[in-house]
Amino acid sequence: MHTTAHSHPLSYTDWTLTETQFDPDQLHARETVFTIGNGYLGTRGSFEEGYPRALPATFIHGAYDDVPIVYTELANCPDWLPLVVIVNGDRFRLDQGECLSYERQLDLRRGILSRSVRWRSPSGKTLDLHFERFASLADEHVLGLRCQITPVDFSGLVEVQASINGYAENQGFNHWEGLDQGKTNRGVWLQVRTRSSRIELAMASGMKISGAETSLQVTSAPGYPTLTAAFWAAPDQTVTVENIVTVFTSREGVTPVEAAQAKLAELPTYTALRQAHEQAWSQAWQKSDIVIEGDSRAQLAVRYNLFQLLISAPRHDDRVSVPAKTLSGFGYRGHIFWDTEIFILPFFTFTRPALARNLLTYRYHTLSGARRKASHAGYRGAMYAWESANTGDEVTPRWSLPHDPYAEDVRIWCSDREIHISADVAYAAWYYWYMTGDDLWMRDYGAEIILDTAIFWGSRVEWNTKQERYEIRSVIGADEYHEYVNNNAFTNRMVQWHLEKAISLYDWLDSSFPDRFAELKQKLKLTSERRSRWQDIVTNLWIPYDPATGLIEQFEGFFELEDINLQDYEPRIRSMQAILGIESANKRQVLKQPDVLMLFYLMRQSQEFPYSLAALQQNWDYYAPRTDITYGSSLGPAIHAILAADLGKSSEAYKHFIQAAMVDLEDTRGHAADGSHGASAGGIWPAVILGCGGVKLYRKWPRGQSTAAFRVETLV
């Protein structure tokens, strides 16, 4: 499938990526790559005029709606892109007529997507079209779309139709029921509501045409309000169509229709809006940029990945978080995984702590869902969902149901067994605090997260009477190729670490904020007995580990599994699980992603057990060759890059860094169509700054102050 990925590569400058040829085979992957956004919404890079089988999508944080099997998904919102240009009866579209020149460009510095096309219509009229769009970073409810039309070799009637398409769909499913639509003196509006979650959304759209005599008309099919204008165009005379769209949902505590109309009425010109937007991007980059000299591809790739993070992180909302595929595609249905806390968060913690705080506070607001999950599973405290959405309740599908009525239904065990998520969230909360010194956040939000998940662990560990040790059985570790294991080293050590920190936090809160401590003691039923039990678990929780060699066993019995030499399977373009099958991969020493090494990465920052260079070397030599780093999980390469750099393996570090950085730009795994790889993008920042760049950051962060940009002079 992805064999075509390199057939029409993008070209790069330090700040722009450019597509110089349109290839229908890359349609969906490039829609992902050219996504724009502003932390409120993301819009895939689909064409304004449409294209057969295109997957246009606009996702708004928190706008989830019910769906079978996977419980809930981000609803694809009404599409604000449709802009149809009709020349002498021929509708501009790239699957008809002749495309004489083509260039699509994403300007990362300005956050602007543009496209220039010279097109000859089936009846032989040639025209230049220049499109441009942005999702304002200065005002997240504002979207701008411009089209400049210049006849090359004809004079004639040109018609332009700009619409809001209320029939947006999630793979066929339209989550929105139309409530109403209408016109204003500046344009049209549409009001819709999700079917089950009853989130109301309104968009209002205004159009302005300059360079020609015309008047606007409203022609509204139900659910498809459209502004139409027809004008006479002449060679070399450019007509400019500017479309401004406003969008609000009931999640913002407003009446969306009124808010969208009022906002549209008060807006300045398209040019002024774009200027404010560019100014906001300029400020954003001042805080978050990484300058790489002497490697344009790496430079652009790093900025591209940071851009994905910056357009995805909510700025004014702490009840949402960044989905695994950000807001750029349908993959994983907009669900939120550990990807956010463990992979995406460091960039924000270090460069935009206020945004990191938003993301973490989402976990505070979803504690009640985590408590429901724990309670339904028979445990105490808070057990975070493997996949989470609005409420924090578990939304991981339990079944993969085949379309073949005679095939077996496949049970998905992640929600039951991939329990390390609760320690991951606590880890992220702790490190945010550690790095920023944001004591008030820890007092008001973080402590409850860390302590109530610690209570969960207290009820989840099992005492092995024979061996006289605590154990954690029936889990899936970080490595998802092994679906049912006991005493996964990664999980057990993370839980141990979590309880260590919970004890410190317990004491810190007691001494620093006794009122809040008293409050939480009562709410969570915290007692000194509970604290003692945590200490007992910390001391006696078993981690499969050979102190003589420093080698950690991924889980109990891993070393007895059949060994594998991944080289024997090269060259390959599929994951080892796809090649071996689920059952067979379960029985081999093959990893989807770092597991013991993931633990080294997480303990690296504080140089805690088991991290040491010697132990890392020992475990790297064992696990790296057994990890399906190319086609396993996209979470792996950035971690391998950092650890390889620690071990002085610069060229290997660079190779893995590029694997991570290019996963979407070059669609190296063939999944870019589903949305950008958020965790991989998140791993780029630590890979460059903490790994290859060699920067070490300790707790010296100026509290409450924003950070400056990083400069990395030689990457390798």
- What is the smallest separation between the CB atom of 342 and a second copy, expressed in angstroms? 23
- What is the smallest separation between the CB atom of 525 and a second copy, expressed in angstroms? 22
- What is the smallest separation between the CB atom of 264 and a second copy, expressed in angstroms? 21
Q: Quick one: tokens of 75?
A: 């609803």
713 C-beta neighbours (distance < 10 Å), count: 9
What DSSP element (H or E) covers 98? Answer: strand 98-107
Give the span between the Cα atoms of 642 and 657, in whole angstroms.
Answer: 8
- What is the smallest separation between the CB atom of 500 and a second copy, expressed in angstroms? 31
Give the span between the Cα atoms of 395 and 201, in whole angstroms.
Answer: 23
Q: Which is nearer to a second copy, 412 or 503 (CB)?
A: 412
- What is the smallest separation between the CB atom of 673 and a second copy, expressed in angstroms? 16
Asked if 645 contacts 622 with a C-beta cutoff of 8 angstroms, the reply is: no
The residues that are catalytic are 480
Q: 3-state DSSP helix/strand/coil percent for the chain, to nearest 5?
A: 40, 20, 40
Give the span between the Cα atoms of 194 and 613, in whole angstroms.
Answer: 53
- What is the smallest separation between the CB atom of 349 and a second copy, expressed in angstroms? 30
Burial class (CB in 10 A: 0-12, 13-18, 19+), 705: exposed
Give the span between the Cα atoms of 166 and 152, in whole angstroms.
Answer: 34
Give the span between the Cα atoms of 62 and 417, in whole angstroms.
Answer: 26
Q: Which is nearer to a second copy, 411 or 699 (CB)?
A: 411
Which ranges of 218-295 does DSSP label H, i.e. alpha helix? 256-266, 270-288
- What is the smallest separation between the CB atom of 404 and a second copy, expressed in angstroms? 9
HSE-CB at 347 with a 13 A cutoff on CA atoms is 29
Supply the DSSP string of 307-322, one letter for each residue.
HHHHHHS-SS-SS---
Give the span between the Cα atoms of 443 and 75, in whole angstroms.
Answer: 35
HSE-CB at 318 with a 13 A cutoff on CA atoms is 13
Q: Quick one: tokens of 559?
A: 């070393």
Asked if 667 contacts 26 with a C-beta cutoff of 8 angstroms, the reply is: yes
Q: Taking each helix axis as running N to C, give the angle between helix 489-512 and helix 528-540, from 0 to 180 degrees, rounded to the nearest 10.
A: 150
Asked if 555 contacts 489 with a C-beta cutoff of 8 angstroms, the reply is: yes
- What is the smallest separation between the CB atom of 681 and a second copy, expressed in angstroms? 29
Q: Which is nearer to a second copy, 168 or 284 (CB)?
A: 168
What are the Cα distances from residue 347, in Å, to 309, 428, 687?
Answer: 8, 12, 10
Q: Which is nearer to a second copy, 163 or 361 (CB)?
A: 163
Q: Which is nearer to a second copy, 19 or 393 (CB)?
A: 393
Maximum Cα interatomic distance, the chain, rounded to a whole number of Å: 90
Q: Which is nearer to a second copy, 20 or 219 (CB)?
A: 219
Q: Which is nearer to a second copy, 173 or 569 (CB)?
A: 173
- What is the smallest separation between the CB atom of 231 and a second copy, expressed in angstroms? 17
- What is the smallest separation between the CB atom of 178 and a second copy, expressed in angstroms? 9
DSSP code at position 568 = G
Supply the DSSP string of 689-713, one letter for each residue.
IIIIT-----S-PPTT-PPPPEEES
Q: Which of 166, 146, 21, 23 is nearest to 85 (CA)?
A: 146
DSSP β-ladder status, 41-43 and 16-19: unpaired
Question: What residue type is assigned to position 198 of the chain?
Answer: R
- What is the smallest separation between the CB atom of 195 and a second copy, expressed in angstroms? 6
Give the span between the Cα atoms of 711 and 716, in whole angstroms.
Answer: 14
Q: Which is nearer to a second copy, 136 or 191 (CB)?
A: 191
Asked if 60 contacts 80 with a C-beta cutoff of 8 angstroms, the reply is: no
Label residues 200-214 b or e (16+ Cβ within 10 Å = b): bbbbbbbbbbeebeb
Give the span between the Cα atoms of 507 and 530, in whole angstroms.
Answer: 13
Radius of gyration of the chain (CA): 26
Q: Which is nearer to a second copy, 222 or 704 (CB)?
A: 222
What DSSP element (H or E) covers 499? Answer: helix 489-512
Q: Which is nearer to a second copy, 96 or 210 (CB)?
A: 96
What are the Cα distances from residue 172, in Å, to 32, 147, 281, 328, 674?
Answer: 18, 29, 35, 17, 15
Q: Which is nearer to a second copy, 76 or 593 (CB)?
A: 76
Interface residues toward a second copy, by CB under 8 A: 50, 52-53, 66, 68-69, 71, 82, 84, 161, 163, 165, 167, 169, 172-175, 177, 179, 195, 219, 221-224, 226, 228, 372-373, 376, 393-395, 398-399, 401, 403, 405-406, 409, 415
Q: Which is nearer to a second copy, 335 or 604 (CB)?
A: 335
Q: Quick one: tokens of 536?
A: 């007992």
- What is the smallest separation between the CB atom of 130 and a second copy, expressed in angstroms? 22
Q: Which is nearer to a second copy, 84 or 697 (CB)?
A: 84
- What is the smallest separation between the CB atom of 396 and a second copy, expressed in angstroms? 8
Label residues 154-166 b or e (16+ Cβ within 10 Å = b): bebebbbbbbbbb
Give the span between the Cα atoms of 243 and 208, in whole angstroms.
Answer: 6
